[in-house]
Amino acid sequence: MDLSPFFKSVLEQDRAQIVICDLDDVIIYMNPAAAEAEAKHGGYALLGRNLLDCHSPKSREAIKRVVDWFRADKAHNLVHTFHNPTVNKDVYMVALRDDAGELIGYYEKHEFRNAETMPRYELW
């Protein structure tokens, strides 16, 4: 069974921003939440661009250090990069690995910490 459509749907439906990069730091995927959040910087037009071009020199160096850490050990897979108290969210860099455990890329995941305000089981 091909699980690709299921995995893509998980990413597409996530309300938090997800940006996936290859090992050359090229943005290869943005979910709709990321494209919307980055609309002022081009949104989906950022696909194919280098992620490092979108960051300050200090952030570029931090990203490079994290990717080097991911490469150093197959057990190195998650780094908390910052907390934004204004919107109460944490941001992580997460290693992406193939079936053999080799690093193939990374992604940035935003997780909001505010309690959900949507009514439970509000279907109609």
Q: What is the CATH number of the domain that holds 20?
A: 3.30.450.20
> Residue 97's pLDDT is what?
98
> Residue 88's pLDDT is what?
94
> Residue 118's pLDDT is what?
86
Q: Which residues contact 42 (CB under 8 A, 6 or more apart)?
A: 49
Q: Is residue 30, in this structure, part of any structural domain at all?
A: yes
Q: Is residue 68, in this structure, part of any structural domain at all?
A: yes
> Residue 116's pLDDT is what?
85
Question: pLDDT (tens digit, 0 to 9) for every residue of the chain, 124 residues total?
Answer: 888 999 999 999 999 999 999 999 999 999 999 999 999 999 999 999 999 998 899 999 999 999 999 999 999 999 999 999 999 999 999 999 999 999 999 999 889 888 888 898 988 7
Q: Is residue 83, in this structure, part of any structural domain at all?
A: yes
pTM (2 d.p.): 0.89
Q: Which residue, chain included where needed, has tokens 């009514």?
A: 119
Q: Is residue 121, in this structure, part of any structural domain at all?
A: no
- The domain in which residue 90 lies consists of 4-112
Q: Is residue 79, in this structure, part of any structural domain at all?
A: yes
Q: Is residue 17, in this structure, part of any structural domain at all?
A: yes
Report the domain count for the chain. 1
